[in-house]
Structure 1
Amino acid sequence: MGDEGPGDEPGVSRRPVTDAEARRASRGWWDADADAYQAEHGDFLGDVEFVWCPEGLRESTAGLLGPVVGARILELGAGAAAAARWLHTREAEVVAMDLSAGMLRHAAAAAERSGVRVPLAQADALALPFRTGSFDTVFTAFGAVPFVADSAAVMREVFRVLRPGGRWAFSVTHPIRWIFLDDPGEGGLLAVHSYFDRRPYVEHDPGGTPRYVEQHRTVGDRIRELVAAGFVLRDLVEPEWPAGHRQVWGQWSPLRGRLFPGTAIFVADKPPA
């Protein structure tokens, strides 16, 4: 993550963006990048598997959603919807939702390959097209939350569509990672940014138009968003890098993973009525 401002060449910056800019950037980026993303990460994520993070933590091991048999579940930012299909095989009733038509195209293709099908919906996490109290569980693995300017509004929307007693779980890049460069090697061990700088990371075109936007919030920010929406925080999981895991995923690597966390998974409940 650099500090250069927009100029005559494509580049990166840390600067505020509007909600509309963030939405346009996310839809355009993931539509354009869907094929490359699946080519690079599809084997790791699988067609019918629930992987929370680049560390490889699986829901089959972690059980963060609790019992899922018969549960009505929504996956936000589902991408190719591998996790939704895995939950379907566990007798859950699942809907997979994503902003990107390109990613949902891969979800449909994976359904054809695997023979496991779940309903797919193209929609915005800031305006969920579901009735109040529609779901027992809502989750996302690195979807939606890091890419919207008003993530507190996402928390409120999730709270709305959950039934009383329902669960909300989401994984994001661990906030401590924002003090480092996106470098899986030794260059990524040097702190260069303030943890308290909430300006998003922006990749922009030569005219300065945002093409990729990722938001930073501190751990405290995330907890306050959850509490303000009405949730009760149940757990904050920081997966450790597994012994023998050699997968490099962007800025995630064995070198960095053995020193500090790369992922934070927040688990919260909507209080019973």
Structure 2
Amino acid sequence: MKNWKKLMAGFCVAAMLGSVVAPVWAADDAAEEEADGDVADVSEAMLGLWKDSAGDIYGFYKDNSFFGQWKDEEQDVLGVYALSSDGEYTALVMQFANDDGTYDDENMVTYLVQANEEENLLELYDPDSLDLTATLEPYEADGDESDYNQTYQDMGDILTECYSGETEAGETFIYAANEDGTFCSVLVIDQDDNYVSFVGEGTFDEENGTVTITDEVSEMALTFGVAVNDDDTLTLDMGDLGSATVEEATLAVAVQGLKYAVENGTEMN
């Protein structure tokens, strides 16, 4: 479905988005969102993973990032979104990142969005005809992936920051946390899609400058030191396990990375 090189390209795009934050129009609409109560309500209701009747998956996050896992695409789609309202309708604009991390006006789509809170659905409408285009319901996986359903949604609700990069051995390393660092996620994926994940409570040792994450399922723990580099990247020192250099990325990367690993990889915890 997706291969390693394409996934890595997606991670690179997401990391660049973390530095760029979002196009100017997205920043403008974000300001409008804060001032518009209706838009803010829709924004809050959208957070998390959703699936439509065709099997396409959408993920929306607090930093206005999203990813799509769509049947007609060879790889997951990463990008940014913005909401705006004219007082009657709320518009959702999704702009997809190009392979090189840039944006252009041709690579975007607009819907009218309505949150059906009573039935816990998102409804997407064509902005011209007002015809219903898709109905999204909360994503629920089956099989082995079903164990991660609540984790995916918790990550969407709780996480506020994400960093991604590589270990010394060339493995993909993704770290994400909530605002006070008490809920954290670490994912390490090698080039053969073997992966190790830690999702659970995080604690910070101020005296030693280390972070410890205890996985809520396996109860295994990972401890690493954090150093800020001159170029604003972070070096995470895991002692005998080596180190990783990461930079700011979007929240969509954290959830997409874990979902990719669970679907396609072999867990090594």
Does TM, scored on the shorter chain, surpass 0.5?
no
Kindly indicate which of the two structures has a greater share of residues assigned to helix.
1
- The two structures have a TM-score, normalised by structure 2, of 0.27
Q: Which structure has more RCO (C-alpha within 8 Å, separation ≥ 6)?
A: 1
